[in-house]
Amino acid sequence: MFIVTGANGFIGSAMVRELNARGYKDILCVDVVKLEERSEPLKKSQFSDFMLTPDFLDWANDNLDSHSVQGVFHMGAISSTTESDWQKLETNNITLSQQLFNFCKNWGCPFIYASSGAVYGGGEHGFNDATNMARLQPLNLYGRSKLIFDQWMMSQEDKPLRCIGLRFFNVYGPNEYHKNDMASVVYKAFLQIKSTGQLKLFKSHKPEYADGEQLRDFVYIKDITRWMWEIYELQNIENGIYNLGYGKARTWKALAENTFKSMKCDTNIEWVDIPISIRNQYQYFTEADMVNTFAAGLSKPNFNLEDGVKDYIQNYLLTDDPFL
């Protein structure tokens, strides 16, 4: 049996579909959101059971062992970069992860968990997963919570069979629709263009960047879940933390133009000021250093920005059923 936490969310539900595509149906889905409250992400998936996170923690200790669990994909977290309740972040992003880490250690199974590119902060020290974590300065509490668990995990001498943290960059794709403000710019752009025929993008407030030339590492969900499976299969991968991005930053303008193109609309961008409240935290450049990730044995991405945006929009967002 596989366990997927955050299974009723974006990356978690996509991972359940990835496992299904590879022939696995004995999957325990765990999430804080009931299926009755959010049914769509898992509606096409096959899985053996669904449990709420608190119930799972109480049950797992007494009912699971090394013979029953093949691996854990821990995608459950408070993922809002604007969350201000530190206790909530600590409980969900640190303590829960520590509990699952210890479960996997006892079960003797791989523990593959979601870290975040947010740990790199403004990128003052680059975006290399080998950078000394003591130097990193996240820009928000969410990033701080992820960094603290990364540090804790790496400090443990006794780890699960394979213990891998994944620093996701700007992931976009089907099944993200419930994320609201935290949804990808591709999805937000699609909705805005569909509604108004126009897209509002932030101006640049730095002279070295023209409007729309701010850069992000956009990575498609189908590459992410394939890589997660590859990591599970890599028997000799070294325990540690690995970046998961495309590996090449692209501009907001390129993303916008590809969104308009995939929707068969003329490009129509309105440049707006970045709100003062977030201007000092706004990032002008992110790019995953993927050297260690590829050296570990992972394949190259299948979807560049053009292909990913086209697949997302034309095969999902413009259809009657946009879910994986």
In this predicted model, what pLDDT tens digit does every residue of 148-196 receive, in sequence order? 999 999 999 999 989 999 999 999 999 999 999 999 999 999 999 999 9
* Pair 73, 211 in one domain: no
Give the model's confidence band at 280: pLDDT under 50 very low, under 70 low, under 90 confident, else very high. confident
62 to 68, 85, 96, 106: CA distances (angstroms): 12, 31, 17, 12
* Pair 37, 16 in one domain: yes
* Pair 201, 76 in one domain: no
Q: Which residues contact 212 (CB under 8 A, 6 or more apart)?
A: 201, 204, 251, 252, 253, 256, 269, 271
Hey, what's the torsion of the CAs at 241, 245, 247, 249, to 10 degrees? Answer: -130
* Pair 109, 233 in one domain: yes
Q: Which domain holds residue 277?
A: 171-219+247-286+303-324
Beta carbons within 10 angstroms of residue 123's beta carbon? 15
Active site residues: 142, 179
Place of tokens 């909530």: 88
Instruction: Specify the CATH number for the domain of residue 261.
Output: 3.90.25.10
* Pair 116, 194 in one domain: no
Residue 307 has which token pair?
Answer: 């292909």
Q: How far apart are CA 142 and CA 307, in angstroms?
A: 30
Q: What is the pLDDT of residues 9-66, one digit of tens each?
A: 999 999 999 999 999 999 999 999 999 999 999 999 999 999 999 999 989 988 988 7
User: Would the pLDDT of 67 be above 90?
Assistant: no
Q: Write down the pTM of the prediction.
A: 0.97
Domain count, the chain: 2
* Pair 201, 298 in one domain: no
**pLDDT mean over 95-112:** 96
* Pair 182, 115 in one domain: no
* Pair 211, 196 in one domain: yes
* Pair 72, 133 in one domain: yes
User: Would the pLDDT of 269 be above 90?
Assistant: yes
Q: What is the pLDDT of residues 282-303, one digit of tens each?
A: 889 999 999 999 999 999 999 9
* Pair 264, 278 in one domain: yes
Instruction: Specify the CATH number for the domain of residue 150.
Output: 3.40.50.720
